[in-house]
A = this chain, B = another copy of it.
């Protein structure tokens, strides 16, 4: 376990930018394109590590910010690191906490040194610096770790975003210097908001330093999908071919297909698990709500084509009943279904790339999959962001 996570590009699909590859990590080889399910607090919500693995997920994302606040890095270190703490022997990527500090925490004071913030849990005050963030992630022991970045808000103006990019670059350099564990890969995060020129500067600067991988940050935070994808396409094109590209916080089935088409290898999203707990289940034709009366007495599973534990074992009527009764089992069964859907989707995407048929797969998928209405999606996102800031 002394080699760093590395990336092997296997094939780029003809007529497309879609790539198939492998991330070789100390905790297994992970096929790309890959979606990381989110286990912010050291658990993929409702599931055991064995279930996550059985679903076909080889890497998960955990959040340094959350784990730093609770249970605290020393506790996890004492128990033997994050893999052991959560009983997960697959690969882990830890986020640096940058995004959480700028979206979740209170009273931020950003200086060149680092960022002072108050915990969203108890209001206690904390300082994070690039060096501390690397130290924490080394203690947690994830296979892939991220630099500390400053995430501007989606409506920040050019000047504000420019300053955030500059600081992100300085912090990336300091993270790179501070990083000692050779068995961990360190990824940089390209910022620049929705400004093409800043994205370009950021990609160029960070690739000139040289990192094990490159993330595209600061997207999927309230802008339209058209903008998300335009910025993804421009930025991905500026990143080196031999390194993995990670689009942070994306996303939905259709966004992942679109992201792959633009050359993305890694995605993470809490969406499949979060919407599952609201009873929204993925099917080939789009998201359905299990609480809909249609399902009240349906003997068949929600998705007759699905091979997940939930669909193999239970009728739609049973799942509908569990949601109506708010039985805790409901949230598990729906989570298993949605993550299995995503795992299968990633397998199909990869198979199509290796077969050289990704473009037709993409067209077929997007023709049958009905995405959530754009305005409804933005409204929901705004509601969710507001509810998060009210819960601070």
Q: A257–B231 Cα gap in the complex (Å)?
A: 67
Which of chain A's residues 296-336 have a Cβ closer than 8 Å to chain B?
296-297, 299, 309, 313-315, 317-318, 320-322, 324-325, 327-329, 331-333
Residues of B within 8 A of A318 (CB): 42, 79, 85-87
A48 at the interface (CB under 8 A from B): yes
A75 at the interface (CB under 8 A from B): yes
Given A79-B299, A315-B85, A328-B328, also A320-B71 (CB < 8 A): yes
Cβ-defined partner of A313 (8 Å) among B87, B299, B320, B324: B87
Which of chain A's residues 81-97 have a Cβ closer than 8 Å to chain B?
85-87
Which of chain A's residues 152-177 have a Cβ closer than 8 Å to chain B?
none
A32 to chain B, nearest CB (A): 27
Q: A333–B41 Cα gap in the complex (Å)?
A: 16
Residues of B within 8 A of A324 (CB): 70-71
Given A41-B321, A71-B320, A79-B299, also A46-B87 (CB < 8 A): no
A277 to chain B, nearest CB (A): 8
Residues of B within 8 A of A320 (CB): 71
Residues of B within 8 A of A80 (CB): 299
Given A79-B318, A87-B313, also A296-B71 (CB < 8 A): yes
A43 at the interface (CB under 8 A from B): yes
One complex includes copies of this chain to the number of 2
Q: A33–B320 Cα gap in the complex (Å)?
A: 35
A46 nearest in chain B by CB position: B328
Contact B299 A329 (CB under 8 A): no
Q: A78–B332 Cα gap in the complex (Å)?
A: 24
Residues of B within 8 A of A322 (CB): 41-43
Residues of B within 8 A of A75 (CB): 296-297, 317, 321
Given A70-B321, A71-B320, also A327-B85 (CB < 8 A): no
Contact B321 A45 (CB under 8 A): no
Q: A257–B43 Cα gap in the complex (Å)?
A: 37
Residues of B within 8 A of A285 (CB): none
Residues of B within 8 A of A48 (CB): 309, 313, 329, 332-333
Q: A327–B329 Cα gap in the complex (Å)?
A: 13
Contact B85 A317 (CB under 8 A): yes
A27 to chain B, nearest CB (A): 17
A330 nearest in chain B by CB position: B43
A383 at the interface (CB under 8 A from B): no
Q: A78–B331 Cα gap in the complex (Å)?
A: 24
A74 nearest in chain B by CB position: B297
20 other A-B residue contacts (CB within 8 Å) besides A41-B321, A45-B327, A87-B314: A41-B322, A42-B318, A42-B321, A43-B327, A46-B332, A47-B329, A48-B309, A48-B313, A48-B332, A49-B313, A71-B296, A75-B317, A78-B317, A79-B299, A80-B299, A85-B317, A85-B318, A87-B318, A328-B328, A332-B332
Top 3 A-B pairs ranked by shortest CB distance? A71-B321, A46-B328, A87-B313
**What are 8 A-B pairs at a CB distance below 8 A?**
A41-B322, A43-B329, A45-B329, A46-B329, A75-B317, A78-B297, A85-B315, A85-B317
